[in-house]
Amino acid sequence: MAVKIRLARRGRTKLARYDVVVADARSPRDGKFIEKLGTYNPLTVPASIELNDERAFYWLMNGAQPSDTVKAMLSYRGVMLRKHLQIGVVKGAITQEQADSKLAAWLEEKNSKIQAKRDRVAKSKQDDAKARKEAEAKVKEARAEAIRKKAEVAAQAPAEATEAPAENTEA
């Protein structure tokens, strides 16, 4: 039986969410599966991936083939690197301690990049909100100025109207 790690679509129209599942290659996309490994939501920035890395690693080491999208997600999470390092340990190229230290260093660097992106997105949202608020303040000031000028014109018009008949009576 060929086993694949792939996505199963959940959610409604235009609000897709996916389950990362281990399934027989012959079963349909949203059909029967062996095990659910996690979820994937592509609509968030950055896309949120909740995955049981241990079980994904187990299935990869036992021969499950990931789809292209899942392979990218596993690589993003460091599971593919862990598999690569573990194969090196099995072949005797490196020791388990070296593999663990390489994986830990890579994960630390990756987490810092992810946090930097989250901070950058949050800062851009704050900057956009501040710019919108300033634009709204300018519009509000312009409207207040227009209303003030209109009130001045309206106040001057009755005064001019009362002055004009007074001039006509003197003549």
pLDDT of amino acid 17: 95
DSSP 8-state code for residue 94: S
CA dist 74 and 59 (Å) reads: 12
Residue by residue, pLDDT tens for the chain (171 residues) are 799 999 999 989 999 999 999 999 999 988 899 999 999 999 987 789 999 999 999 999 999 999 999 999 999 999 999 999 999 999 999 999 999 999 999 999 999 998 998 899 999 999 999 999 999 999 999 999 999 988 888 888 777 777 766 555 555
CA dist 51 and 54 (Å) reads: 9
Domains and CATH numbers, the chain: 3-94 (3.30.1320.10)
CA dist 51 and 48 (Å) reads: 10
pLDDT of amino acid 168: 58
Q: Are 73 and 21 in contact (CB under 8 A)?
A: no
pTM of the model: 0.70
Taking the CA atoms of residue 142, residue 148, residue 154 and residue 156 in that order, the dihedral angle to the nearest 10 degrees is: -120
pLDDT of amino acid 14: 92
- Report residue 143 as tokens: 């409207």
